[in-house]
Structure 1
């Protein structure tokens, strides 16, 4: 991987309705998400671990900085979108990492989204209470 000062690798990650635009640059392993640090934007340790997985698997967790802009979705979906975006940016930077990332499922876009509400129902599948009389 080209770790010169001017290298920038960009990608987009998605999960549910969250979209993360990610830029990887050579650095010290800093995360900047919407102008905030990783711990400030995602206070839950489980979500932080999810986000860090892709870089830790390939061993670049202390060599690349991550700058991201995220919109849509909830916190868990945003974390998943960020991991997906980081994984795709790593493929742009070094195509040889594809096999390892794909094996762990980081490149698969989780296509599960909320089902639409149907007419006559309270939610997508929840029915109104039945009254016999």
Structure 2
């Protein structure tokens, strides 16, 4: 091709001329792939699971109050580590104190219930603010932790522990 040919470009500046110098409108703001999912009361609902615990979580804008089974989180989860687990989601997304949480939890122990509430809050937050999904997913909070207690096998003391062997 020669330089006189209209379809040749020798630099990036010439590329606009070759392409026809079409002016494009600025791109629309990045809209999330998902839509906001709210109920009739303006709350986002999600279910969280961990071990044998199942948590139903409702999230709405508020002052940061977290209620679990009708009790405040400080009363229900007395150990600070369990409260830390629940609030991890808000720390990652920098939304601490902006949402009220109402959760009902059944099954399992306190550790499993705290993990279930965290999973439920993560799911509900991404339904209320779909733009936060990538940050929450990157932290691994949207994935259900599938580790459960291994069942006891017959002929064993526990799941894997054997009875003491005696040669005679």
Match of 1:71 in 2: 106
> Is 2:78 the partner of 1:47?
no
Q: Which residue in the other structure is 1:105 paired with?
A: 140
Displacement after TM superposition at 1:60 (Å): 2.2
Give the RMSD, CA atoms, in angstroms.
1.4
Q: Which of 15, 20, 36 is the aligned partner of 2:71?
A: 36
**Greater RCO between the two (CA within 8 Å, min separation 6)?**
1
Q: Kindly state the Cα deviation for residue 63 of structure 1 after the two structures are TM-superposed.
A: 1.5
Secondary structure of 1:21's partner? strand
The answer for the alignment partner of 1:117 in structure 2 is: 152
Q: Any unmatched runs of 5+ in structure 1?
A: none
Larger proportion of strand: 1
User: What are the ranges of 5 or more consecutive residues in structure 2 without an aligned counterpart?
Assistant: 1-35
Q: Is the partner of 1:129 in helix, strand or coil?
A: coil
**TM-score, with length taken from structure 1:** 0.93
Structure-2-length-normalised TM-score: 0.74
Q: How many residues align?
A: 130
Q: 2:129 maps to which residue?
A: 94
In structure 1, the residue corresponding to 2:54 is in which secondary structure? strand
Q: Which residue of 2 aligns with 1:129?
A: 164
Largest Rg, 1 or 2: 2
